[in-house]
Amino acid sequence: MIPRYTRPEMAAIWEPQTRFKIWFEIEAHAADALAELGTIPKDAAKAIWAKARDVTFDVARIDEIERETKHDVIAFLTHLAEIVGPEARFVHQGMTSSDVLDTCLNVQLTRCADLLIADVDRLLAALKTRAFEHKMTPTIGRSHGIHAEPVTFGLKLAYAYAEFTRARERLVTARKEVATCAISGAVGTFAQIDPRVEEHVAKAMGLTPEPISTQVIPRDRHAMFFATLGVIASSMERLATEVRHMQRTEVLEVEEFFSEGQKGSSAMPHKRNPVLTENITGLARMVRAYVTPAMENVVLWHERDISHSSAERMFGPDATVTLDFALNRMAGVIEKLLIYPANMQKNLDRLGGLVHSQRLLIALTQKGASREDAYKLVQRNAMPVWRGEGDFQTLLKADADVKKHLSDAEIEEQFDLGYHFKHVDTIFARVFGAS
């Protein structure tokens, strides 16, 4: 995790103190269940909670023990025994390290998912507000980066809103899929621990029991979780790229907010660069990069190995922290985005009406021209305009072959900008609901 791209709420989930607190809670809840089953004394379970519930674990001490034991869970349990005393002999009975590690990881990922869902909600709110603000603001739609036909800027934002609505749904599903608990012991057979312990811990930690674990929780669950983060990152980069293109000097239809005292270049004082969306683009690449190791972690030897562990220690915090930061930055960009309708109209008019060429094509076919002939008639009048040689409507009215099918009034009718927006309300109702 790089502090520059880290928000404290998400970082806190991955701090050692948080991790050890979760480990303790897993062990203490398991002790409660074991006590209820008569496997350990009830007084021992109570003592474990009483002596360690509010303790701040000594991370340096745990690290010191691990340097000797070369085992992180044993180091923690040794330190816990130093705090709890004789009753610590009843901790971790019938359990294996992965019971603690995997259950803890899934607790952390569900907490991360909750923050990420809130992040998406903020972005959705910003997109909806700005979409309705510019619902009928005309701008040019582009395909291949080239002027195509008119759209509205509100529709551009509605596209993004619909995409991030799907992102939210996927996050909710990914959270549910990864929210499982395994307290099944070595190789997952429950030979040394009753399945009811797992059920108790799962309920206490807000998880569900893993139906079958081999000694680790199956990593296809985690692969899907991080794949979901990767897709969200791609959606975010798509929106960021749209802003970047629209901010280019030759376009300048929107612009990132430029604050008082902000500097755009160390060399050129005039510069106002799309640094936030460029930053988001880079961060999105990193989130996607972590999808591959998450996929590769699905493949483990037999009932378990720990080839997944080192990778997860890196990409678990990094992917969630990075996406959290980027989503919040994206929401801020949209909330403060400077929007220039006059420039949108200027660009829309730049090709002298060529954006209405399809309407002319259809009108000619409806008046009896073949599609092939109609296409040739429209294109031969469009190409001079493309080269800056005349006005599209004027050329059409002067073309005798066009006039065989369309009157001047009928030609003019095809240049109605509002015609393109007659179904905007329908699209908005589909995206945002009837309200």
Q: Name the CA radius of gyration of the chain, rounded.
A: 30
The reply to whether 370 belongs to the active site is: no
Q: Are strands 208-209 and 180-181 parallel, antiparallel or unpaired?
A: parallel
Please list, in sequence order, all residues whose beta carbon lies within 8 angstroms of the beta carbon of residue 314, skipping any fewer than 6 positions away: none
Annotate 314-356 with DSSP letters as a single string: HHHHHHHHHHHHHHHHHHHHHHH-EE-HHHHHHHHTTTTTGGG
Q: Which residues contact 178 (CB under 8 A, 6 or more apart)?
A: 106, 109, 110, 113, 221, 222, 224, 225
Catalytic residue among 71, 265, 310, 423: 265
Catalytic residue among 71, 143, 144, 270: 144
Return the closest-CA partner of residue 129 out of 150, 160, 151. 160
Contact between residue 200 and residue 32 where contact means Cβ atoms under 8 Å apart: yes
Burial bucket for residue 435 (CB in 10 Å: 0-12, 13-18, 19+): exposed
Active site residue 265: yes
The CA-CA-CA angle for residues 57, 59, 63, to 5°, reads: 135
- Residues 6 or more apart whose Cβ sits within 8 Å of residue 377: 364, 369, 399, 401, 402
Cβ atoms 321, 7 nearer than 8 A: yes
Indicate which residues carry an active-site annotation: 144, 265
